[in-house]
Amino acid sequence: MFKLGKLAIDVAKHYGADYADIRIIDTKNEEINVKNGKLNVDYSNTLGFGVRVLFKGSWGFSSSDNLSVSEIKKVSKEAVMIAKASSMLQKEKVQLAREDVYHDHWFTPVLKNPFRVPLEKKVELLFKIDEILRKKSEIKVASSEMSFQNIRKWFISSEDSEIVQDLLRSGGGYSATAVGNNDMQTRSYPASFGGQYYSGGYEIIEQMELLQNAERIRDEAIALLSAPQCPNEIKDIILGGAQMVLQIHESVGHATELDRVLGYEENYAGSSFATLEKYKKFKYGSNIVNLFADATIPMGLATQGYDDDGVKSQRWDIVKNGILTGYMTNRELAHKIKDTRSKGCNRSQGFYSIPIIRISNLSLAPGEWELEDLIKDTKDGIYMDVNRSWSIDQRRLNFQFGCEIGYEIKNGKLGRMLKNCSYQDITPNFWNKCDAICNENYWDLWGVINCGKGQPGQRAEMSHGSAPARFRKVEVGIGN
């Protein structure tokens, strides 16, 4: 592969490229789903390459799924021609931040390769879950799934880096949808929209306690049908970890992507309120709010050795003691915040996509509270968990998020189950209302596998760690 990669670089240079890199990517996926007793198994294997070049400070990118010498020559030349067209409308030349040259092979630590676990073993587990979920007639849709992905990626650049990475992620979960009482309610485990995912092997599935929680989830979905609506009032809220992941992702992760901040996403995903004049000054949250990005954290979905710029993975602060202190950056834009080195956030969906800035693993540092004490300390509130819906404005200020399940908190005690729970606020107002975060015993990483961004659209994966946290005086139950 290195030989083919070097050929791409040589061809690009021959046609005038000042910088070139190639990523050759071989991806294997296995998706297993049981829905209402019906099994679907889907296996895919994709292989291709993408060539990215700079010509006089302008980008060009082309790709192909035909890994032949003639196609590599053709695509490399095309990338340079596209870059030449880009230079027709250029105000500022792209400057790449300096990065060391690496010759390395990095791989995800794995105990059990999920692709070697017999299919029938995985299928049997899903059928057992399906049987429990559908034991009660109110459940109209029971869906359980597992998904495994193995990416082997070669990166070769004109700066002489040669990097191979073997990335493996595993995960799954299930949901039960109950219908009745003129209503429909869904509960999911461990998280919604496909479950929970980590970097690692089949050991992840074995540690999820999938079967042990199936009855509870089924019964909660049914109970929600007759539960009272979340009231439309101002309340203190405690968000569980599975909801905090969405809160961190939407209101901090995207808001601190430097390309968004600089207007590169203005026409599609939007920009950000966290603009450069706020850097190192802005009170993003209360003093106890500490958010850090970490592409080296064990089991994170954005955990890797190097990003698609060939930058080595790092950990850094995004919000420190409530102050905005960092952004997600790449080699192209790092200099815009006077950084001499990229934080390593440039990633692409596949060989056919140009790398763009993506959220790294971004986590809220744990606080000191026991969850029991936090509930005892709350007079009039709601505990909400597991995301159900999300919407946020184009500068990441006004958000409205919904949760699958909630519980009333009255005078320090958990009370009735509530349905259709939602809350709405403005991002910095909300994070400044955070007055308590649970301790490391409640802290976990949650995987996001469906983060969309860019034109053409790209999907990326990352994890967010959090423990439950409390926010004072928030509007809940909008539209109820």
Partner 1 sequence: MLKKEKLLDFADTILKLSDADMTTVTVAGTKESLTRFSNNQITQNVDSLKYSFTIRTVYDGKVGVVNGTSLEKKNLSKFIEKAKDIAKNQTHKKEIFPLSSKQDYTFTKSFDKKTENLAPEIRAKYVKDAVKLCEKERLESAGIFSNGATCVVIANSNELEAHNETSNVTFSITVQTKDSSGWAEQNELSINDMDIIGKTKIAIEKAKKSKNPKDLKPGKYTVLLEPAAVADLISFLSYTTFNGLMISEGRSPLSGKIGEKISSTMINLYDDPYFKGVGGLPFDFEGFPRKKLTLIENGILKEIPTDRKVAKMLKIDNNGHSLGPDDEYGPLPLNLYLKEGDLSFEKMVESTQNGLLITQFHYVNMLNPITTTITGMTRNGIFFIEDGKVKHGVKNLRFTQSILEALENVSMISNKVVLQSGGFGGGFAVPGLKIDHFNFTSKTEF
What DSSP element (H or E) covers 402?
Answer: strand 398-410
Q: Which is nearer to partner 1, 71 or 206 (CB)?
A: 71
Smallest separation (angstroms) from partner 1 to the CB of 283: 15
- Residues in region 21-60 near partner 1 by CB under 8 A: 29, 33, 35-48, 50, 58-60
The interface mask with partner 1, positions 255-294, x = CB under 8 A, is -------xxxxxxx-x--x---------------------
95 binding partner 1? (CB under 8 A): no
1, 4, 7, 123: which one binds partner 1 (CB under 8 A):
123
140 binding partner 1? (CB under 8 A): yes
SS3 183: strand
Stretch that binds partner 1, among 146-154, 290-298, 339-347, 386-394 (CB under 8 A): 386-394
10, 128, 177, 472: which one binds partner 1 (CB under 8 A):
177
Smallest separation (angstroms) from partner 1 to the CB of 304: 22
- Token couple for 15: 């046609």
With CB under 8 A as the rule, give the number of residues binding partner 1: 86
Contact 143, 35 (CB under 8 A): yes
CA distance 202 to 116: 9
Stretch that binds partner 1, among 136-144, 166-174, 203-211, 298-306 (CB under 8 A): 136-144
SS3 307: coil
**Strand ranges, E, within 257-304:** 291-294
Collect all residues with Cβ–Cβ distance below 8 Å to 130 and sequence separation of at least 6. Answer: 34, 35, 36, 37, 142, 144, 174
The interface mask with partner 1, positions 193-232, x = CB under 8 A, is ----------------------------------------
12, 392, 469, 476: which one binds partner 1 (CB under 8 A):
392
141, 223, 288, 337: which one binds partner 1 (CB under 8 A):
141
Q: Which is nearer to partner 1, 195 or 300 (CB)?
A: 195
69 binding partner 1? (CB under 8 A): no
* Number of neighbours of residue 277 by Cβ within 10 angstroms: 6
Peptide bond into 355 cis (omega under 30): no
Pairing between strand 380-392 and 234-239? parallel
65, 215, 368, 380: which one binds partner 1 (CB under 8 A):
65
Amino acid identity at 448: V
54, 72, 83, 460: which one binds partner 1 (CB under 8 A):
83
- Token couple for 423: 């809350």
* Number of neighbours of residue 148 by Cβ within 10 angstroms: 25
CA distance 394 to 414: 36
184 binding partner 1? (CB under 8 A): yes
Stretch that binds partner 1, among 138-146, 240-248, 368-376, 405-413 (CB under 8 A): 138-146
CA distance 66 to 70: 9
69, 111, 119, 211: which one binds partner 1 (CB under 8 A):
119
Phi, psi of 4 (to 5 degrees): -65, -40
402 binding partner 1? (CB under 8 A): yes
User: 220 exposed, middle or buried (CB, 10 Å; 0-12, 13-18, 19+)?
Assistant: buried
1, 288, 414, 426: which one binds partner 1 (CB under 8 A):
426
